[in-house]
Structure 1
Amino acid sequence: MFVGHAALAFALVASVALARGWDADRVFAVGLLAGGFAALPDVDIAYAVVGVAGVAGGDALTLASAFWSTGNVVHRAVTHSLVLAGPVALLAALRTAADARVRWLSVPLALLVVGAVGAVSGALGTVVTLLFVLGAVALGEVVARQTTLTARQVFAAGLVGLVTHPFGDLLTGEPPAVFYPFEATLVGERLALSTDPTLHLLGAFGVELATVWAAVIVGCVAAGLRPTTAVRPRATLGAGYAASIALIPAPTLDLSYPFVFSVLGVGALGLRPRIRFENARRPSIGPPDWLPALVTGLSAITVAWLAYTVVYVLL
């Protein structure tokens, strides 16, 4: 769900900006900021590198298992807290203030957040929170230098990104500690879309595809583009992916990598270079047009997912 978090936040915030009549540049700026904040909580997975380093030389599945088993030691805790979402979004907003004295208020706030977490979770929690805080500050600095967004708009976009992220994890793993550092629990178990673990994984993948499509559609509307005219017929070739049901293990949350990586590979159907014959001897080869490549690739992945799901259900 890494991409889904950012796509959902982008679609939500950018659509509100569109409804308010903002121009395309500001729509993309605030949408991308929300998407950046929605991806930021997963900075805690950086700790997983420790586990991967310990099994260097293993096969792909062994490395993936080590990655998640180590990363989950701190994953979906500190950085997924709704309690900390406000202060961390405020950090970025303060960095965009015109008054230098207001900008420097982010320093004691950052120290307060890191210190409070350190008192509760020790050294590892401190390191993760420091990465989290630095990420928010970096986003604020980029916004201040590259956009005209106000501090209030930065805070709102950041808050949407941080608050929506934990709920996107309810389908794919252990429920986040949304009230950290408090012990209260909002959702105690992962939400199940099906009692069949493969159908649950396919359903979760479909939800993520839907969020990506929402982001693409909102982005196209903001840019004045029509995605329906950019889809190429070769996207239907994605249906052939259904044959992989005989080649790869049935995907589940515990063994999703063969399916996820292979079905995403179907998106390469969108990457056809532009070839122009300026003369008979020297054809000109250029990169593919980005919109047809994006929409066709995403359509091919969607067709592949749907075809695989239908075949799985029928068999």
Structure 2
Amino acid sequence: MDIQLNDIALFVEVAKRKNFSHAAEALNIPSATLSRRVTELERAVGMKLLNRTTRRIDLTEAGAIYFERCRHIVEEARIAHDQLQDMAAQPKGRLRISLPPSLASLFLPAIIRDFIAEYPEIECDFDLSVRPIDPISNPYDLVLRFGQQPDSSLISRQVVLMEHHLYAAPSYLARYGEPRTPADLSHHECLRPMVSDVYHFWMLHSGDRVERVQVVGRLASNNMGMLGRLAVRGLGIAPLLVYSAMERAIERSGLVRVLPDWNLTPVPLFALLPSRTLPAKTRAFLDFIKPRLKDQP
């Protein structure tokens, strides 16, 4: 059986995108050439791998099994090739990163100038999103997400465990009073991250003490930066993650810490990766941001 690894890699790209034109564009080869090479691969394996129509491409049962086995092989081969090149070179290439807008808006401007100065041959494409990532069609080299993530074939690594505190504007506290105990929060307007549950609970910790408080509030957002801006306007008490850039923004905004002896449950930041073996450019970015996220005041 005369099968070339390059042809398998071409099939994997088509299977990921379910579109010959998009795959050909990504691979920088003519669509007709790509279609012919995949057809030759099907002939070599003796089975049809793709169902083609004028509107879409779907994997056959055999194609789905072949894709699931081959995509990891192709990824490992690509990384092995990149690593050989990286042994004698500065990390380089296009790095595609998806991360939450609330992290990007404050953290990236604070560190990106130093990163591109240290790694001038890395180009960064940033997607600001919190949407779930499809592990099969994942177009990113690195995905950063807060909190535990659903099980998938992506490799999950904890980057840092971030402190989580409560803040409010002096104008809000002057109007409604300052909570003295965690239980007092149930009588305040709490700015909440968006969740599917009807009831929302905050877990607060002070040394060995833990209190679970049901909170209410008319405003919720999946963007922590937005929660902070709402708090600045005096609209409630906001839970905010604490790292150096966020702490400086909080100080400039005039927000003050609420219940300073209590902390919300820390929130992990995870890196979701297509493989356990990291290309040099991905490893360089993770190694660069990790100590800076840990650098909390």
With normalisation by structure 1, the TM-score equals 0.23
Higher strand share: 2
Which of structures 1 and 2 has the bigger CA Rg? 2
With normalisation by structure 2, the TM-score equals 0.24
Structure of higher RCO (CA pairs closer than 8 Å, 6+ residues apart): 2
Higher helix share: 1
